[in-house]
């Protein structure tokens, strides 16, 4: 269990918890801002345009993150208020993963800057690298065409036949299966490492 890391490597534990909470909070805010841009004021009316992670994740998600290393968030939106149902759904759904992609790129560029020996003392390179890596993993994971992930809402608008899976048990079964496959998380991590290496040249 992830919580064992608290005993074996507490600094690494708190780094991961802080990074994931920060990343999910911005991920959900990106959904909210995108929804507002599409004519839906639900995020504002429900008080979800805030940096408070408890509002976006809830204590259950934060506690589960500390125990199992898995967390989730939510942003209330009303697709019926989007100016364009199809395009609005794509934009709002894609906004979350794209925020993680943007964070990944920002932090990998910071990693490249702070790899300079003259600047290395200003930030923890391990923390910067870990932030970039986690955000690339979140980007890749959330784009999977599995309900209720963001990727499903994006891809189902492009390929409408996928909508048949929305109200089935497929999503729960598929996610459980993925989390039971140890190589799945490792694979996403390897892809993230390759992206970072490609950008930094390190």
Query: Which listed residue (28, 60, 126, 166) is catalytic?
Result: 28
pLDDT in tens, 142-160: 999 999 999 999 999 999 9
Residue 20: the pLDDT is: 98
> What is the mean predicted confidence (pLDDT) over 68-77?
96
Residue 123: the pLDDT is: 62
State whether residue 202 is helix, strand or coil: coil
For residue 59, pLDDT over 70 is answered with: yes
CA distances from 13 to 23, 120, 126, 174 (A): 15, 22, 13, 27
pLDDT in tens, 27-55: 999 999 999 999 999 999 999 999 999 99
> How many domains does the chain divide into?
1
Residue 28 falls in the annotated catalytic set? yes
Q: Tell me which H or E stretch contains 122.
A: none
- 192 confidence band (pLDDT: 50, 70, 90): very high
**CA 117/CA 19 separation, integer angstroms:** 25
Q: Are 68 and 106 in contact (CB under 8 A)?
A: no
Q: Which domain holds residue 38?
A: 2-200
- 35 phi and psi angles, rounded to 5 deg: -65, -40
The distance in angstroms from the start CA to the end CA of the chain is 31
For residue 120, pLDDT over 70 is answered with: no
pTM score: 0.93
**CA 42/CA 110 separation, integer angstroms:** 35
- 167 confidence band (pLDDT: 50, 70, 90): confident
Omega before 103 within 30 of 0, i.e. cis = no
**Of 108, 110, 94, nearest in space to 33 by CA:** 94
> What is the mean predicted confidence (pLDDT) over 5-23?
96
């Amino acid at each position: 269990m992830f919580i064992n890391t608290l005993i074996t490597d507490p600094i690494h534990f708190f780094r991961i918890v802080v990074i994931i909470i920060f990343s999910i909070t911005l991920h959900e805010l990106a959904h909210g801002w995108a929804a507002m841009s599409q004519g839906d004021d639900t995020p504002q009316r429900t008080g979800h345009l805030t940096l408070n992670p408890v509002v976006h994740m809830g204590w259950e998600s934060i506690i589960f993150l500390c125990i199992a290393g898995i967390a989730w968030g939510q942003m209330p939106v009303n697709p019926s208020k989007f100016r364009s149902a199809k395009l609005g759904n794509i934009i709002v759904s894609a906004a979350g993963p794209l925020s993680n992609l943007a964070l990944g790129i920002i932090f990998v560029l910071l990693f490249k800057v702070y790899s300079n020996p003259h600047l290395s003392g200003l930030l923890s390179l391990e923390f910067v690298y870990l932030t970039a890596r986690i955000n690339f993993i979140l980007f890749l994971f959330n784009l999977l065409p599995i309900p209720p992930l963001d990727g499903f809402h994006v891809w189902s608008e492009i390929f409408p036949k996928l909508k048949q899976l929305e109200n089935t048990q497929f999503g729960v079964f598929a996610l459980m299966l993925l989390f039971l496959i140890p190589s799945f998380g490792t694979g996403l991590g390897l892809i993230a490492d390759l992206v970072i290496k490609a950008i930094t040249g390190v």
